[in-house]
Amino acid sequence: MSYIKPSFRHPEAPTNNIGYTEADYEGALSTLCAGCGHDSISSAIIQACFEMSIEPHTVAKISGIGCSSKTPTYFLGNSHGFNSVHGRMPSVATGANLANRHLTYIGVSGDGDTASIGMGQFSHVVRRNLNMLYIVENNGCYGLTKGQDSATADVGSHSKKGAVNQYQSIDLCALAIQLGADFVARSFSGDKAQLVPLIKAAMSHQGFAFIDVLSPCVTFNNNVGSTKSYEFVREHIQATGTVDFVPMQEEITVSYEEGASQEVCLHDGSVVRLRKNGKDYNLRDRAAALAAATDHAHSGEILTGLLYMDPDTEDLHTLLDTSECALNKMTEAELCPGNQALQKINDSLR
Amino acid sequence: MKSNSAVNEFVIKFANVNGTGSASANNMFAKAIFRMGIPVSPKNIFPSNIQGLPTWYEVRVSEKGYLGRRGGVDIVLSVNPQSMQEDVADVLPGGYFVYDSTKPLDLRLVRDDINYIGLPLTRICATEYSDPRQRLLFKNVIYVGALAALLDIEFDVLTDIVRSQFKGKDKLIAPNIHALELGHLYATQNFDCPLGIRVKRVDKVGDSILIDGNAACALGAVYAGATVAAWYPITPSTSVVDAYEKYAKRLRIDPGTGKTNFAIVQAEDELSAIGMVIGACWNGARAFTATSGPGVSLMSEFLGLAYFAEVPTVLFDIQRTGPSTGMPTRTQQSDLFAAAYASHGDTKHVLLFPSNPRECFDLAAEAFDLAEQLQTPVIVMSDLDLGMNDNLSAPLSWNDQREYKRGKVLDAEQLEASERFGRYRDIDGDGICYRTIPGTHPSKGAFFTRGSSRDEWAIYTEDGKQYARNMERLLKKWETAKKLVPAPVLRSAGQPTPLGVIYFGTSVDATHEALDYLSNEGIELDGLQILAFPFNDDVVDFIENHDRVYVIEQNRDAQLRSLLMIECDADPKKLVKVLEYDGMPITASKIRSAIKQDLPGPASVTPLRRKAADS
Ligand SMILES: Cc1ncc(C[n+]2csc(CCOP(=O)(O)OP(=O)(O)O)c2C)c(N)n1
Ligand code: SF4
Ligand SMILES: [Mg+2]
């Protein structure tokens, strides 16, 4: 069951540029287990959309099947949502995006949904550079079917039943970088300070933006020995730097010390800043990003933050050269060539 | 020896090797017959292979307008030594075997009841052309020239076709005409031309066109306003999307910007293709995919989602011979079960059954209206025979006054004026609810689409009563669908008869021909061409009003007959199977003899033990 939340609103709740309060971005009450990492991600999405002053109805939320894929019910209640079938969110998102290029598409998936049953669709949506934010809520297990190991579970990690995973794990960020994604990030559900700016930057990126969010499953995968549990993740996180996102609407007043930050200007005019914490991380180097993600994994660390980004990207619509007008807005006038043209075709067939 | 004669009524079969350029020469032949005003029905019989295997092109010429496959061959044009033995055996007694006589004919291939016409094609090419590619290509054109003399095809008609075919590549016109002349000259000098079997100009095609069913489906999609096509290659459906692309590039480029008013994506598999279609339709565009049996199997889970979540979806199933990979380049009507009940749970889908290109065009356009009116998948059931062969067809036409029927979609104004929006509330009592498109209104109309059960407000529920109520509403919608889908077409015997025939799709032409023959023999049957599933009351009445109903279809398990039993509660004893499932289109003679064998009484010789109609 999902519950309709009481629409009580604090009279002095702050509003954003377009007059909405943060509550306007909320959804139905979550039915996930208390403490589930997925809920923290939902609230990060809510905060990001609020801060970016996105009109909720211009967002479409699409997901597969799993605890993670249920979450679109729990944020952005004024946006249309589509909980599709297991592992197939990317295709539904692709179709939706083709129909209307002017909405913001948020795809939510799980590690089972993406790295196993949906591996094919994930790879191909990356290749096509669909303009969307693709979030994997990665808990290293199948939450909804009661805790089986997923393909992102690390070798040697323990499931709740105590079984040791013997199979190689799939690093979705490394894969996305390798497949040509132009925005790849990793974060942790409990680290809102990092996650919110990443989500904002991802939504501003005019192409495929991928965020792998480690999101512990408190019920089936938060035990000692699991590499996707709170303790483990907290202890082993290595950040590439603090990500800061400045939306286009805001005047850029904050100034950083020369050399301390790396800035990337996005096509909608907003800016992503990576604050370097002593680490020399080059956002724009695909090979280095891949190496960094893999090296850290080998040393038992999880590299988080914006791992790779190239703002000069051509999304699927650009590649297909589709009209600026959304296809779903076109009518007979644009679409139907009329009987005269048909009679000419008949003539060519005689 | 007897030589058959027939004017404008015969079957000629070309035996070629695939990948040798014979297709365009063979098409030229069929087009010439068509342009002489004679109804013609060419069929490609090709292997699942790219180069080097036998391939046939069977052309039925019929002034009477019979376009179904006839069976039996009057003339074989043989340029493939590999299949010669079987090709010789195919010729009806008194018929002709035209072959490449550069090498002497193997004596084992000589029959004394057919006529042999040797054309030294390889030799003519060897003296005429030095380039091996030209030798190969022009060999085909030369035999068309020879056939023109042998069958009395007007030479000007052929040269006109060459001119229009090579428009823009004018350099190729003269050499092609020259090749035609070479063949023509050889035949006139060496044989008594024309043969007894020949053509004669008549005026029997009117304003008809020659087009394959897949191109007609594609044009239907263009005219119906489909903007998103997602697909995965599979014979025999690929040319649907190829043709859509070709026509869209011609007719759907924005005149101001040069950008496309359509989007085509070759997906990574059929699951993805149908997922994209569902996503696009959910978001208010008209979208489609085209596939064949194996793809339908893969799409099943998604089709169930579209049925249950009520998302319009259009799918073209160009059927081929199953199960599994079956005979991928042969025809069948064997996906009825797979399509009608695709997906788990209580699921059923609207099907449309075109029988010719005009119906492909009309039903394709209709599919988009129905899908949006009914908010459900609509599957257009064509097949390889219709989809990949040129068919003689009434011209396509579009009423410029026609508006797309977009179904019950609330716009911003309607939402603004409304109270709380309930996506799954049956306000009109027809089982069809109102939907909204993402992005329509800032605060009203958003809802969550899901394949899991939900209440009328689209809120997730596991309440069995609510679930059952929703399932019953979907049944009510199914009843509404019966009124919206095209009604069956009656072909009355013109007098009362206890006998009926039910048929659909590519079995229509052969059935009509068989009904003519039976009528000549004094056996009258009423016919009913099914155009859609669900069946409406006309179908129920038709079965009720006849004592015996033959159900004609091209599959082993009598799938249409089963659907009639399931959905119309028809008495199985009444419904007699007439089946063909060897991968070749069903013939009139097959249907005629099956019906005659089944009939009791003096109309047929009662066999000792009655054979099943489908044996
Ligand atoms: C075709 C199909 N197979 C299996 C299932 C059962 N199933 C539901 S959720 C799920 C795994 C979900 O794992 P993940 O994507 O990691 O989501 P989580 O619950 O961990 O957030 C499975 C196997 C299904 N719904 N559909
Ligand atoms: S089972 Fe795990 S993933 Fe699912 S809701 Fe509970 S904590 Fe979250
Ligand atoms: Mg998971």
Who's near B607: CB < 8 A, 6+ residues apart? B597
User: Alpha carbon of B21 to those of B57, B80, B123, B128, B137: distances in Å?
Assistant: 12, 13, 18, 18, 6
Please judge whether B279 and A99 are an interchain contact, meaning their C-beta atoms are less than 8 angstroms apart. Answer: yes
| pLDDT tens digits, one per residue of A160-210 | 777 888 999 999 999 999 999 999 999 999 999 999 999 999 999 999 999
Residue A275, phi then psi, degrees to nearest 5: -85, 120
For residue A7, is it within any domain?
no
Tokens 């019966």, residue located: B482
* Total number of domains constituting chain A: 1
The reply to whether ligand 1 has any atom less than 6 angstroms from the CB of A129 is no
pLDDT score of A7: 55
- Both tokens of residue A28? 């139905």
Is there a contact between A84 and B259 if contact means CB atoms under 8 Å apart? Answer: no
pLDDT in tens, B465-517: 999 999 999 999 999 999 999 999 999 999 999 999 999 999 999 999 999 99
- A229 part of a folded domain: yes
Q: Looking at residues B270-296, what average pLDDT do you find?
A: 98
| Residue A158 to residue B40: CA distance in whole angstroms | 71
Distance from CA of B2 to the nearest CA of A (A): 36
Of B281, B398, B438, the CB nearest to A103: B438
Q: Which residue of A has its CA nearest to B230?
A: A95
Q: Is 70 exceeded by the pLDDT of residue A126?
A: yes
Q: Which residues are near ligand 3, the ion (C-beta closer than 5 Å)?
A: A 110-112, 139
Which residue in B252, B281, B283, B298 has the most chain A C-beta atoms within 10 A of its own C-beta, making it the best mutation to test that interface? B283
CA dist B528 and B549 (Å) reads 10
Report the predicted TM-score, pTM, of the whole model to 2 decimal places: 0.95
* Short-list A148, A144, A151, A170, CA closest to A159: A148
Decide if A337 and B287 are in contact by the 8 Å CB cutoff.
no
Residue B593 has pLDDT above 50, yes or no: yes
> Cα(B247)–Cα(A345) distance, rounded to whole angstroms?
10
- Among A108, A111, A102, which residue's Cα sits nearest to residue A82? A108
Specify if A286 maps to a domain: yes
Question: With 80 as the cut, is the pLDDT of residue A258 above it?
Answer: no
| pLDDT of B606 higher than 70 | no
Whole-angstrom Cα distance, residue A123 to residue B202? 59
Query: Per the CB < 8 Å rule, is A92 touching B278?
Result: yes
pLDDT number for residue B601:
65
pLDDT bucket at B531, cuts 50 / 70 / 90: very high
Structure tokens at A57: 């109805």
A98-111 pLDDT, tens digit each: 999 999 999 999 99
Q: The domain spanning residue A29 has which CATH number?
A: 3.40.50.970
User: Nearest 10 degrees: CA dihedral of B325, B329, B334, B340?
Assistant: 80
Does some domain include residue A192? Answer: yes
The span from the CA of A124 to the CA of B275, in Å, is 13
| B571: amino acid identity, one letter | D
Contacts with A192 (C-beta within 8 Å, 6 or more apart), sequence order: A40, A43, A44, A47
Q: Does residue A9 form part of some domain?
A: no
Which H or E run contains B474?
A: helix B464-484
Q: Are A2 and A73 in contact (CB under 8 A)?
A: yes
Strand ranges, E, within chain A: 59-63, 80-83, 104-110, 132-138, 141-142, 148-149, 183-188, 208-214, 237-239, 242-246, 261-265, 271-275, 302-309
pLDDT at residue A255 is higher than 60: no
The SS3 of residue A272 is strand
A151 falls within a domain:
yes
Place of tokens 């132009």: A182
Q: Among residues B353, B364, B319, which one has the least CA distance to residue B219? A: B364
Per the domain annotation, does A175 fall within a domain? yes
- Alpha-carbon dihedral of residues B481, A335, A314, A307, nearest 10 degrees? -20
Q: Among A142, A170, A217, A222, which residue has the most ligand 1 atoms within 8 Å of its CB, making it the best to mutate? A: A142
Residue A101 domain boundaries = 22-320
Note whether residue A349 is domain-resident: no
Task: Report the SS3 class of residue B239.
Answer: helix
The span from the CA of A323 to the CA of A102, in Å, is: 11
Give the mean pLDDT of chain A.
Answer: 89
Cα dihedral A216→A221→A226→A228 (10° resolution) = -20
Q: What is the DSSP string of A118-132?
A: THHHHHHHHHHT-SE
Burial call A244-266: b when 16+ CB within 10 Å, e when fewer: bbbbeeeeeeeeeeeeebbebeb
Atom of ligand 1 nearest to the CA of A109: 15
Structural domains of chain B in order of their starting residue, each with its CATH number:
6-198 (3.40.920.10), 211-393 (3.40.50.970), 412-484 (no CATH), 489-614 (3.40.50.920)
DSSP string, B264-317: EEE-SSHHHHHHHHHHHHHTT--EEEEE-HHHHHHHHHHHHHHHHHT--EEEEE
The Cα–Cα gap between A330 and A322 comes to 12
Tell me the pLDDT of chain B averaged across its residues: 95
pLDDT of A222 reads 81
